Amino acid sequence: MYSAVSRQPGSSTSYSPYFGSSDYDGLSQALSLSNKAFLADVAMSHVAALSAMEGFWSQVAPSGAHRYKLLADTYTEVAADMIRR
């Protein structure tokens, strides 16, 4: 779908001979969902690693167990907030 509309200087609207504006919206939504899936995958692997380290360090140095848990929980919360956006 090609639109032969002249652009005004400073206009943010762009036209493509191949895609309509609704195609760009769909692509943008798909990329956003794909990015969130990637972030979720990375965050889950980090949370798993942090949880394993929390367990290990809780056995090695039990006096810091509450700190290890706080670190793992804080990372989990921040990562979840980033994915929700």
What lies within 8 Å, CB to CB, of 57 at 6+ separation is: 64, 65, 68
Q: What is the pLDDT of residues 29-72, one digit of tens each?
A: 777 888 899 999 999 999 999 999 999 999 999 999 999 999 99
pTM for the structure as a whole = 0.64
3-state secondary structure (DSSP) of residue 7:
coil
